[in-house]
Structure 1
Amino acid sequence: MKAILAIFRKEMIDAMRDRRTLLVVLLSSLLGVPLLLLIVSEVLSQVESQEIKRTVVAVDIQYAPSLENYILRQGFLIQPAPADYEKKLHSKELTQPVLLVPRDFEDKLSHGEKVTLEVVFDTSNTQAQFGLRPLRKILDSYVQEHALLGLMMRGISPEVLQMVDIKERQISRPEERKVTITGMLPFMLIMAIVIGGMYAAIDTTAGERERGSLEPLMMNPVSGWQLAIGKWGAVATVSMTVVVLTVLSFFPSQWLIRNETLRAEFQFGASEALGFLMVLLPLAASLAAIQIGVALNCKSYKEAQVRNQILSLVVSMVPLTLTFNPGREPAWFQWAPVLAQNIMMNHVLKGEAVGYAAIAIALLVCTGLTVVSLAYVARKMRRVVMG
């Protein structure tokens, strides 16, 4: 035990001296979630601002007095578009889509001919795209009203075409909408774990091998298991620290949310924090062992970095499996590392209790991965260095 603690202490001191490791730990854990929530709240604010602007930018609206009257009756203001509206849309000076009205609009309508309204926007202008939905909504309402008035003028009751009434009823809870809005948070947490522990794992294996400090360590009377557990303990501590700091960053992150809707719906308290820690700490420990095993056979820091980046890519791809079965995850998902943690974190965000069986299975899988990885490291440690 003394040898393991000595190795652990030595590796922790090295990790704390490594500025790259400290920088990654602090940036990934303390800034990731606040930046994500700030970006999401900003996007939602832009969408809502377009909803409440109640302004329509149009060209030649004077040739469609019936449409103009309808838009004004809905409480919208009409602004004439600038002559160079396409240029301003592309340069983002104009933040709303532009409605183009043909000059024969009323003439075609009076003769029962089909008429086309054109809505111009730039796909690179995000705010203009956000304004597309409310504009389309008011235009669709106008088309529907015009069709119903045409039927009434011909003595046909509009109810003939409305024999079936469709009514929507929302049964999802506010917590479930919160998960939809902040669905990237579990992914961010897992990636913070992977990136946070990666450099510590590389430095304690390939980094020491490249610097030539691993061979003197092997000359001490320590076994492969003692070396593996000591090094893993230090890397796992770094990864777990990233988990704790990232989860704790949720609390001040809520102060940065500028959108009132998101602020009201995203309530992250002590119970959610405990749930996240219970789910993520075992995963952080197992990923640390895997990262050490991946970096162990590498002769240089750069080679180990490339291999661990491939591992990070694989881990980031795993949650995409959930998009194929949203809400209907097969039972075997709870045995898949990363997938199981992602599902359980979504349950926590929904306010649902995570079953003890699911927690036990995830803990069992993480423990198995850790033991297998450490056995590999213990067996290969001396062989790799001496080879």
Structure 2
Amino acid sequence: MKQMWAIFRKEIKDALRDRRTLLIASFSSLLGVPLMLLVFSVVLSQLESQEDKRIVLAVGMEHAPALENFILRQGYQVKTAPADYVSRSQNKELDQPVLLIPDDFAEQLAAGEKTSLEIAYDTSNRQAELGLRPLHRLLDAYVQETALMGLMMRGVAPESLQMIDIRERYLQRPQERKATVTTMLPMMVLMAIVLGGMYAAIDTTAGERERGSLEPLMMNPVHGWQLAVGKWGAVATVGMAVVLLTIASFFPSQWLIRNETLRAEFQFGWKDAVGFLLVLLPLAASMAALQIAIALDCKSYKEAQVRNQMVTMLIPFVSLIPILFPGREPTWFQWVPVLAQNQMMNQLLKGETVSVWSMLIAFLVCAGLTSISLVYIAKKMRQVVMH
């Protein structure tokens, strides 16, 4: 036990001295979530600001007096687009799409002929693209009103075309919170855990081997298990610290949210924090063991880094698996590491209760993965040095 504790203290000191480990762990845990929520809130505010502008930029509105009257009745203003709207939109100076009306619009409409309207915008102009939805909604309402007026002029009651009224009934539980914008948070947290402990795992194996400090450590009378558990304990501590810092960053992150809708959706309290800890700490421990096992066979720091980065790249793909199963998620999700944690974190963000059985399964799977990795590390440690 003394030897194991000595190895643990030595590895922790090395990890704290490694600036790269501290930088990645600090950035991924403390800045990842706040930056993402800040970006989300800004984008959502931009979208809502476009809808609140209630201004329509148009070219040729004089050819569509009925359309202009309809737009004004909806509380919108009609403004003539600048003559150089194409170049100004391409240069991001124009932050709205432009409605283009043909010269014969009113004549074709009066004759009952099919006509068309165009909406011009530059696809690289994000601000202008955000204005498409409110303009489309406005024009769809005008098309519907025009069609109904045409039927009434021909003596057809509009009600006769719609004999059934379709309504929606929401079955959302009162305690369930919306988490539509925050669905990327679990993936961000999982990435922070993997990245936070990765460099510590590489440094304690391939890094020491490259520096030549692993061989002197093997000359001490320590068992492979003591080496494995000591090194794993240090890396797992770094990973768990990343978990704690990431979850702690959720609380000040709420102050950075500039959008009222997102602030209402993202409600994170102490109960949620405890749930996240129970879900993520076992995963951080198992990922530490897996990363050490992956880096152990590598002869150089760069090789170990590449291998572990390949594992890191799997996180986003695993998080996207639920998209393939719309509706009720299959029960086997809770047996897959990362996928199970992603599922449980989403439940917590929505205000749902995570079952004890799901947490127990995830804990047992992580414990099994950790045990298998430690057995491999203990057997492989001396073999690697000998070769």
TM-score of the superposed pair, with normalisation by structure 2: 0.98
Q: Which residue number corresponds to residue 33 of structure 1?
A: 33
Offset of residue 172 of structure 1: 3.4
In structure 2, give the amino acid aligned to 1:116: S
Residue 106 (str. 1) matches residue 83 (str. 2): no
Superposed CA deviations along residues 188-244 of structure 1, whole A, max 9, x for unmatched, are 000000000000000000000000000000000000000000000000000000000
**1:3 paired to 2:3:** yes
- Aligned-pair distance for 1:327? 3.8
- Sequence identity (%): 68
Secondary structure in structure 1 of the residue aligned to 2:258: coil
Structure 1 residue 49, shift from structure 2 partner: 0.4
* Maintained 8 Å contact 2:209/2:299: yes
Q: Which runs of 5+ in 1 are unaligned?
A: none
Match of 1:263 in 2: 263
Q: Assess, with a 3 A threshold, how the Cα gap between structure 1 residues 169 and 84 changes in structure 2: closer, same or farther.
A: farther
Partner of 2:272: 272
Give the secondary-structure state (helix, strand or coil) at the position aligned to 2:79.
strand
Alignment match, 1:244: 244
Kept in 2: contact 1:174–1:265 (CA 8 A): no
Contact 1:175 1:349 in 2 (8 A): no
CA distance in 2, matches of 1:34, 1:323: 25
Determine helix, strand or coil for the equivalent of 1:179.
coil
In 2, Cα distance between the equivalents of 1:51 and 1:178? 21
1:47 is matched with 47
Superposition map of 1:219-238 within 5 A: 219-238=219-238
Q: Does 1:304 align with 2:290?
A: no
- Matched residues in 2 for 1:301 and 1:72: separation? 66
C-alpha distance after superposition, 1:305-359 (max 9, x if no partner): 0000011112332111111113421111111000100111111111111111111
Query: Could you list the runs of 4 or more consecutive aligned residues of structure 1 that deviate by over 4 angstroms after TM superposition?
Result: 173-177
Q: Distance in 2 between matches of 1:140 and 1:354?
A: 43
- CA–CA separation in structure 2 for the residues paired with 1:59 and 1:168: 38
Alignment of 1:368-379 (within 5 A): 368-379=368-379
Secondary structure, counterpart of 1:184 in structure 2:
helix
Matches within 5 A, 1:82-97: 82-97=82-97
Question: For structure 1, which segment, 33-42 or 167-176, has the greater mean C-alpha deviation from structure 2 after superposition?
Answer: 167-176
Instruction: Measure how far apart 1:122 and its partner are.
Output: 1.5
How many angstroms apart in 1 are the aligned matches of 2:187 and 2:178? 15
2:220 match: secondary structure: coil
Partner amino acid for 1:331? Answer: T
Q: After superposition, where does 1:236-385 map in structure 2 within 5 Å?
A: 236-385=236-385
Distance 1:351 1:17 in 2: 40
Q: Is the 8 A contact 1:7 1:231 kept in 2?
A: yes
What is the distance in 1 between the residues matched to 2:85 and 2:176?
A: 40
Q: 1:98 & 1:173 partners in 2: Cα distance?
A: 42
Structure 2 contact 177–351 (Cα < 8 Å) conserved: no
1:119 match: secondary structure: strand
Distance 1:29 1:122 in 2: 37
CA-to-aligned-CA distance 1:113-171 (integer Å, 9 cap, x gap): 11100011111111111110110111111111111111111111111111222223333
Aligned counterparts of 1:59 and 1:174: Cα–Cα separation in 2: 48
What CA distance in whole angstroms lies between the structure 2 residues aligned with 1:204 and 1:386? 17
Corresponding residue of 2:56: 56
Secondary structure (helix, strand or coil) at the match of 2:56 reads: strand
Deviation at 1:13, TM superposition (A): 0.3
The DSSP-based 3-state class of the residue aligned with 1:99 is strand
| Cα distance in 2 between the residues matched to 1:43 and 1:121 | 18
Q: Does the CA-based 8 Å contact 1:56-1:76 persist in structure 2? A: yes
CA distance in 2 between partners of 1:327 and 1:168 (Å): 18
| Maintained 8 Å contact 1:8/1:231 | yes
Equivalent residue runs for 1:99-138 within 5 Å: 99-138=99-138
Instruction: Report whether the alignment pairs 1:201 with 2:205.
Output: no
Displacement of 1:174: 7.8
**Aligned AA for 2:154?**
R
Q: Does 1:67 align with 2:67?
A: yes
Q: Distance in 2 between matches of 1:136 and 1:21?
A: 50
Which whole-Å CA distance do the structure 1 matches of 2:213 and 2:312 have between them?
Answer: 27
2:8 and 2:50 mapped to 1: Cα distance?
Answer: 56
CA distance in 1, matches of 2:111, 2:177: 47
SS at match of 2:183: coil
| Residue aligning to 2:18 | 18
Q: Structure 1, residues 34-70: CA drift from partner, whole Å, max 9, x if none?
A: 0000011011101100111101000010110000000
- AA at the equivalent of 2:133: R
Q: Secondary structure at the match of 1:182?
A: helix
Contact 2:177 2:349 in 1 (8 A): no
Q: Secondary structure at the match of 1:206?
A: helix
Bigger mean CA deviation after superposition, 315-324 or 96-105:
315-324
Cα offset, 1:173, TM superposition: 5.3
Q: Deviations over 1:359-382 (max 9, x none)?
A: 110000000000000000000000
Q: Residues of 2 paired with 1:316 and 1:156: CA distance?
A: 55
| Structure 2 contact 187–315 (Cα < 8 Å) conserved | no
How many residue pairs match? The answer is 387
Give CA deviations for 1:218-271 in whole Å, capped at 9, x if unaligned.
000000000000000000000000000000000000000000111122110000
Q: Which amino acid aligns with 1:275?
A: G
